[in-house]
Amino acid sequence: MDRSEFSTLQEVALEARRRLNPNVWDYLEGGAESETSMKRNRHSLDRIALKPRVLRNVVDIDCSATFLGHEMRLPVTIAPCGSVEDINRGGTLAIARAAEEFGIVSFLSASSPTPPDLEEIATETRHPKVYQLSVRGDPAAIDERVKRAIDAGYAAIGLTLDAIVKGRRERDKFNRHVPSSSSNPVVDVPAATESTLTWDHIKRFKDSHDVPLVLKAIATAEDAALAVEHGVDVIYVSNHGGRQLDHGRATIDMLPEIAKAVGGKAEIMIDSGFLRGTDIVKAMALGAGNVAVGRLMCLGLAAGGQAGIVRVMEILESEIKTTMGLMGVTRFDQLDPSYLDQARPVSPPGLASAYPLLDATAAN
């Protein structure tokens, strides 16, 4: 199939599954242990119903947003993902190029296999990018990587906080599958520094580096308030897509209390389980400034490389515009929790609750 012929996200997901090695598909689809956290991410999104308003002029719908002052075509960023080279060779650069082509921000994960390195990504693309680090190694080594990213023009530095212990991803263990990021020398080192990370390290970072800081894996109002106290610029609500701590809360359930604790003093972004335009709209109504997509981006990457990711974003944009128009709003700042309600999910949570054709084709 010509990638330009994808008309729905379901087609993209089906093509991705067809193209991927089954072990890599399981790596992409799976979560930690019983996969309860992963399923809760979808379950909580699926049980939020939309409350549309009518008799409103919705001729001109504006889906644009900003991230740290940078204009974006959608309130969507490409989440930091490791092992993307397993999904599509050349995937690290393809992701950055797709983000630039479409007009959104992307994260570069330090766990992405190299080459290309962070400087090459910066040279090849000019759009705003965030360099995402898991804090491992001595402080001098961390400072050196941060300086390299700043010198290369990255818009912000992100720190991943929920990888102090590697989650037990049992699909990978069952399949004896070792993702390529596990052998990356940047991350394949003792995690002693990461395991001893405290708020003092965040203070040191802010005192040492003149660059916006994103903290990924904030999951409570208490930690969000502490992040604001430490001058963090972006609160990134995440449970690692349910791939680290099992039996945690869904990120969409964390969002309202975190938004209240932040009180507009920092930007808020969220990830984990977001697969549809309706999901994006729900997050924006609950206080997010933008939504990071990981699995969704990987589906596009698997289905068609750079062009596949761009097509995913185009379809997502269409879904968002349709949802906003049918809800009676033309801008995201018109949304609030009054546009949402609780309802029973209509299918078991997972990729197939967003893309039911995955189950339908598997049954045939």
* CA nearest to 132, candidates 71, 65, 211, 193: 211
pLDDT score of 186: 44
pLDDT score of 359: 87
Question: Which stretches of the chain score pLDDT less than 70?
Answer: 1-4, 112-115, 136-137, 181-195, 363-364
Q: Give, rounded to a whole angstrom, the gap between the first and last alpha carbons of the chain.
A: 20
User: Using a CB cutoff of 8 Å and minimum separation of 24, what contacts does 358-364 make?
Assistant: 358/10, 358/13, 358/14, 358/17, 361/14
* pTM score, whole prediction: 0.94
> What is the C-alpha separation between 137 and 271, in angstroms, rounded?
26
Asked if 38 and 169 touch (Cβ cutoff 8 Å), the reply is no
User: Within 10 A of 158 (CB to CB), how many other CB atoms are there?
Assistant: 25
Give me the residue label for tokens 């894996």: 217
pLDDT score of 248: 97
pLDDT score of 363: 58
By annotation, the residues acting in catalysis are: 240
pLDDT in tens, 128-144: 999 998 776 577 888 99
pLDDT score of 273: 97
Residues spanned by the domain of 32: 3-363
Tally the domains of the chain. Answer: 1
Q: Are strands 290-293 and 70-72 parallel, antiparallel or unpaired?
A: unpaired
Give the CATH number, domain containing residue 297: 3.20.20.70
